[in-house]
Amino acid sequence: MKIKVFREPAKLQKWCRARKLAGAKIALVPTMGALHDGHMSLIRAAKRRGADEIVVSVFVNPVQFGPNEDYEKYPRDEKADLAKCAAEGATAVFFPTPANMYLDRHSVYVNEEDLSRGLCGGRRPGHFRGVCTVVAKLFNLAHPDFAVFGQKDYQQAQVIRRMVRDLNFDLKIVVAPIVREKSGLARSSRNAYLSDAERGKALAISKGLGELKPGSSLKALSRSLEKAGLVVDYVECVDAETLEPRKMPKKGCCVLVAAFCGKTRLIDNRVL
Ligand code: PAF
């Protein structure tokens, strides 16, 4: 079956509603495009869970970017994204435009006010407001039985779970493991910005996280990143559920890293 392509929110919504009424199990895979193996693993996770329809949304959501961030230069390649989705077995792709997602005088936003305060939320004001708003809209458009997110964006996954719980969205959140390159580097669309030399430096992140043990020093991890030539945005250990700060890594914690490699901000994490 040929993959369906939707650009109009109302058309996607109509089709998903009809498929749902016909008894289809719908999976949503929200993405910002520039699809890589990590995204493909989300589509595969949807397949494994028996979805009849797998809807991949590809939308670089302006509302989640800060004024000095990479919204303009974020990689976009619709043709390649469509081909990858089709090859992996997605059944529909949604390519909306900012103008049809955010109508003139759009004025309603979703704010999560607990889990989004620290980590990336603390450094990127408004980021999770943008994420929650667009994801809530996608849920309303696609009527998914479940939606699949990647663990690389650990805080995002927790924030979205909370949104689903607190706003009574009738769907399940599936979080798929981080997919890494052979070198260990976590797959990210932003890796496309890295030069070869920067890729070498970036490896310090996955290496450092991989070597962590209960009781390891976060300061030492931070120093090893700086030594490799990265500029640390944060290295933090939090409770894996509540995201409350913990002094040192131990079981049930998540250690999260955000660091600049040149101009590129990379994130990675490890649950102990
Ligand atoms: O993780 C992402 O790519 C984005 O934050 C998401 C969930 C697609 C919302 O724009």
Q: What percentage of the chain exceeds 90 in pLDDT?
A: 99
- Gap between the Cα atoms of 202 and 161, Å rounded: 29
The CATH code of the domain at 189-271 is 3.30.1300.10
Indicate the domain borders of the chain. 4-176, 189-271
Specify whether the CB–CB gap between 185 and 206 falls below 8 A. yes
Mind listing the pLDDT tens digit for each residue in 111-154?
999 999 999 999 999 999 999 999 999 999 999 999 999 999 99
**24-58: per-residue pLDDT in tens?**
999 999 999 999 999 999 999 999 999 999 999 99
CA 108, CA 112: separation in Å to the nearest integer?
A: 13
Look over the chain and give the mean of its residue pLDDT values, rounded to a whole number.
97
Ligand 1 close to Cβ of residue 153 (< 6 A): yes
Which one of the listed residues 39, 106, 127, 143 is annotated catalytic?
Answer: 39
- The answer to whether 4-176 and 189-271 have equal CATH topology is no
Q: Ligand 1: which of 93, 94, 116, 135 to mutate, judged by most atoms within 8 Å of the beta carbon?
A: 135
Residue 39: active-site member: yes
E strand residue ranges, 136-207: 146-150, 172-176
CA–centroid distance, 135 to ligand 1, in Å, is: 8
| Atom 1 of ligand 1, residue of closest alpha carbon | 31
| CATH class label, 4-176 | alpha beta
Contact yes or no for 26/116 (Cβ under 8 A): no
Distance from the CA of 133 to the center of ligand 1, in angstroms? 11
